[in-house]
Amino acid sequence: MNTERRVFLWTRVAALADGTPITVGHVSRVAASVAGTDSVALVLWLTSTPREMLFASDTLASAVEEMALTVGEGPCADACAGSLVLVPDLATAEYAARWPVFTPAAVAAGVRAVFSLPLRIGGIRLGSMNLYRQQPGGLAGEQLSDALALADAACLLLLDSAKAVPGGPELPGDPPRPWDGPRHPEVHQATGMITVQLGVTAAVAFARLRAYAFAHDRRLRDVARDVVNRRLRFDAGTGGNPDDN
């Protein structure tokens, strides 16, 4: 992409920020606009932490991302692992076979096309930017190149912040964190509590938390909140029982 095009895209981001600190939310919204999509979410996924949604443009993006996090599959998971995932029509047999739980749920929610762009710089993987469209159709060449350039910009915003790891301490004089989305620290807190209850690694604890939420058809953050508030305790024999106390 030439410099003139990059300047054009960044000018749009700055105009959207309108004098406020630029966040990944601003970058993501411009990416959705230039790509001709309806919704966008940005997800952080570091190897040592559960996947976390940093920004969602609307309730559709938020609901689909939370569902994907709970079931553990979908375009976002593949993009977080480093793959560029372009799905022009989700309602096909190919994608029903590839993501048997995610696909029907996303289509039922109103999603027909998904474009998941990995957030990475060199060998560093940070997560994904996920663009959703309610009508089928692919991305034109310039739409894709613009969206990829803005995904790179989101990476730089995250890497430029010393607080790219969720839950890091706020220090006096720190600039605003470069995200503005619906973060859910209770998921991290619950994962830590389950590691102690079961004597397992954080990855295994998160998998147990996610499996419980899926099996009981509940939102992940609601189950996590029950764990944090000690209404639910995981047991090595049963996988999770309500605390009667």
CA–CA dist 223, 232 (Å, integer) = 8
CA–CA separation, 10 and 133 (whole Å)? 23
| Residues 225, 228, 230, 233, CA torsion sign | positive
As assigned by CATH, the class of the 3-160 domain is alpha beta
Three state DSSP letters for the chain:
CCHHHHHHHHHHHHHHHCCCCCCHHHHHHHHHHHHCCCEEEEEECCCCCCCEEEEECCHHHHHHHHHHHHHCCCHHHHHHCCCCEEECCCCCHHHHHHCCCHHHHHHHHCCCEEEEEEEEECCEEEEEEEEEECCCCCCCHHHHHHHHHHHHHHHHHHHHCCCCCCCCCCCCCCCCCCCCCCCCHHHHHHHHHHHHHHCCCHHHHHHHHHHHHHHCCCCHHHHHHHHHCCCEECCCCCCCEECCC
At 97 the pLDDT is 98
Which pLDDT score, from 0 to 100, does residue 38 have? 97
Q: Where are the domains of the chain?
A: 3-160, 185-242
Confidence of residue 94 (pLDDT cuts 50, 70, 90): very high
pLDDT of 167-211, one tens digit each?
A: 443 323 333 344 444 456 777 788 778 888 888 777 777 778 877
Which residue type, as a one-letter code, is found at position 8?
F
The mean per-residue pLDDT over the stretch 113-124 comes to: 90
Under the banding of pLDDT at 50, 70 and 90, the label for residue 119 is very high
Region 140-166: mean pLDDT is 80
Q: How far apart are CA 7 and CA 61, in angstroms?
A: 28
Evaluate if residue 145 carries a pLDDT over 70: yes
pLDDT of residue 135: 98
Please state the rounded mean pLDDT for residues 68-96. Answer: 94
Q: What's residue 172's pLDDT?
A: 31
What amino acid occupies position 32?
A: A
Selected residue with higher pLDDT from 173 and 61: 61
Dihedral sign, Cα of residue 126, residue 59, residue 72, residue 89: negative
- Per the model's pLDDT, the better-predicted residue between 9 and 158 turns out to be 9
pLDDT of residue 184: 61
What is the pLDDT averaged over residues 50-77? 90
End-to-end CA distance of the chain: 60
Kindly report the average pLDDT of the chain as a whole number.
83
185-242 to CATH, choices 1.10.10, 1.10.150, 1.10.275, 1.20.1630: 1.10.10
pLDDT more than 70, % of the chain: 84
Q: Regarding predicted confidence, which is higher, 108 or 190?
A: 108
Structure confidence at residue 143 as a pLDDT band (50, 70, 90): very high
